[in-house]
Amino acid sequence: MIEKELKKRLKEQKFKESQRLRNLKKYDYFIILPDDPFKQKWDLLITGMLLFTAFVSPYRIAFIDFDTTAWVIIELLIDIIFAIDLILNFFFAYHDQ
């Protein structure tokens, strides 16, 4: 019984915090909320880029002697995405207890 009550209170607190952030967003267009679909897709993209970098870069360093134009362009695009992520992190909101 107590556990259900605690879960209900926690859910209400999360809802209130979410509503507070949504009301704040009405006045500030530069805040990207944690439950925003764009942020979820962006996090998925960054995760993919990090996995790609973690697996491909060591392989290329160990076994590839020279870079082709395609690899230079791919790495440049990944670097640009990471730079954009660095800037976007200043606009991402987060839930704080």
Residue 95 has pLDDT above 60, yes or no: yes
Based on the domain organization, do 40 and 78 belong to the same domain?
A: yes
pTM over 0.75: no
User: The domain containing residue 9 runs over which residues?
Assistant: 1-30
Based on the domain organization, do 13 and 38 belong to the same domain?
A: no
Alpha-carbon span 59 to 42, nearest angstrom: 26
Alpha-carbon span 15 to 9, nearest angstrom: 10
Based on the domain organization, do 92 and 66 belong to the same domain?
A: yes
Based on the domain organization, do 36 and 72 belong to the same domain?
A: yes
pLDDT of residue 28: 64
pLDDT of residue 16: 74
Based on the domain organization, do 78 and 64 belong to the same domain?
A: yes
Tell me the per-residue pLDDT of 53-71, one tens digit each, with 9 for 90 and over.
Answer: 999 999 999 998 888 999 9
Based on the domain organization, do 10 and 43 belong to the same domain?
A: no
Angle at 30 between CA 12 and CA 78, to 5 degrees: 105
Nearest to 28 by CA among 83, 93, 84: 93
Tell me the per-residue pLDDT of 13-41, one tens digit each, with 9 for 90 and over.
Answer: 777 777 766 666 565 677 887 888 899 99
Distance of CA 69 to the CA centre of its chain: 29
